[in-house]
């Protein structure tokens, strides 16, 4: 089983390298939207410093919703999901591995961009450190939500924006606690603990829910 998991991750890595320009476009989208935000509110340093963390978080969320349609769609259309399942992997395991590889290959590269972006907002060093720490926890939740909404919309051929709406809807607590952890200094530890708690809830829910959606889609396609 370990060998199968290893091969699966290796295949994900190869797919990711063949498609790396997609990730670069996502990061470029993130940078451009930050620029547009700064142009829209003017370059007053005081204002930028106070609202910086909130803007970075919401734009990270928006740019992570760009790539969620790719989560299962290719594997589903190729029939690779069925083949993996026939090879002895349960759908839950496939979902967990997919979430893990999405977290490592798509969300972690965004970490590189955070120090650069925090220069634009003149964020102090410790706030940047907090931002990176909360992003590592929060982006895993984004991956779980992306898995849920992508598997929900496998057979959806008409209404594409509902997938992004579902991710945005369930990420409201993530945004509240992670931005709160950065703005209120003495509450940092408790809010990060709450964030880890939400993370564990979604890690528990998402394999079950996504596997149910995938089964439903495969049975009816």
Partner 1 sequence: MFKFLINPSRFNKFVDIIFKPLVIVTLLTLIIGLFFVYFSPLDYQQGVTVKIMYIHVPSAWLALLTYAIMTIYSVVGLAFKIPFSFIINKAIAPIGAVFTLLCLISGSMWGKPMWGTWWVWDARLTSVAILFIIYLVIIFLNQTFENREVREKTIAIFILIGSINLPIIKFSVDWWNTLHQPASVSKLSSPSIDISMLQPLLIMTLAFSLIGIIIAILRIKTEILIRKKHL
Which spans of this chain sit near partner 1 (rule: CB under 8 A)? Answer: 148, 152, 155-159, 162, 165-166, 169-170, 172, 201, 205, 209, 212-213, 216-217, 220
| Alpha-carbon separation of residue 197 from 173, 177, 188, 192, 201 (angstroms) | 11, 11, 14, 9, 6
State which residue, 32 or 162, has the beta carbon closest to partner 1. Answer: 162
Strand, helix or coil for residue 157? coil
Q: Toward partner 1, which CB reaches closer, 18 or 159?
A: 159
**Least distance to partner 1 from the beta carbon of 159, Å?**
5
Nearest distance from residue 209's CB to partner 1, in Å?
A: 6
CB of 220 to partner 1, least distance (A): 5
CB of 186 to partner 1, least distance (A): 16
The pair of structure tokens assigned to 17 is: 């390298």
> 204, exposed or middle or buried, with CB in 10 Å at 0-12, 13-18, 19+?
exposed
- Least separation, in Å, of the C-beta of 86 and partner 1? 22
Which of 215, 12, 24 has the alpha carbon at shortest distance from 99? 12
Residue number, 117 or 209, with CB nearest to partner 1 = 209
The three-point CA angle 141-31-183 to 5° equals 55
**Residue 65 · residue 164 · CB < 8 Å:** yes
For partner 1, the closer of residues 60 and 166 by Cβ is 166
Q: Pick between residue 155 and residue 184 the one whose CB is nearest to partner 1.
A: 155
We find the least distance from the C-beta atom of residue 4 to partner 1, in angstroms, to be 27
Cα Rg, the chain, nearest whole Å: 18
* Residue placing its CB nearer to partner 1 in the complex, 133 or 205: 205
Give whole-number Cα distances, 85 to 6, 34, 44, 76, in Å: 16, 41, 55, 12
Pull the structure tokens for residue 207: 């394999």
């Amino acid at each position: 089983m370990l060998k199968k998991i290893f091969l699966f991750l290796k295949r994900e890595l190869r797919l990711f390298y063949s498609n790396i320009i997609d990730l670069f476009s996502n990061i470029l989208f993130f940078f451009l939207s930050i620029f547009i935000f700064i142009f829209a509110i003017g370059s007053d340093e005081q204002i930028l410093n106070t609202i910086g963390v909130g803007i970075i978080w919401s734009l990270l969320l928006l740019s992570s919703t760009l790539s969620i349609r790719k989560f299962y769609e290719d594997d589903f259309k190729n029939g690779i999901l069925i083949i993996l399942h026939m090879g002895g992997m349960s759908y839950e395991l496939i979902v967990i591995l997919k979430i893990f590889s999405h977290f490592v290959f798509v969300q972690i590269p965004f970490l590189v961009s955070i120090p650069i972006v925090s220069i634009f907002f003149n964020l102090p060093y410790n706030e940047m450190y907090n931002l990176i720490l909360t992003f590592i926890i929060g982006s895993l939740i984004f991956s779980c939500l992306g898995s849920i909404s992508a598997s929900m919309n496998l057979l959806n051929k008409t209404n594409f924006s509902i997938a992004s709406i579902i991710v945005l809807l369930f990420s409201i607590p993530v945004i509240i606690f992670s931005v709160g952890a950065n703005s209120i200094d003495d509450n940092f530890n408790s809010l990060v603990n709450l964030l880890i708690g939400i993370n564990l809830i979604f890690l528990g829910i998402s394999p079950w829910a996504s596997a149910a959606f995938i089964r439903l889609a495969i049975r009816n396609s």
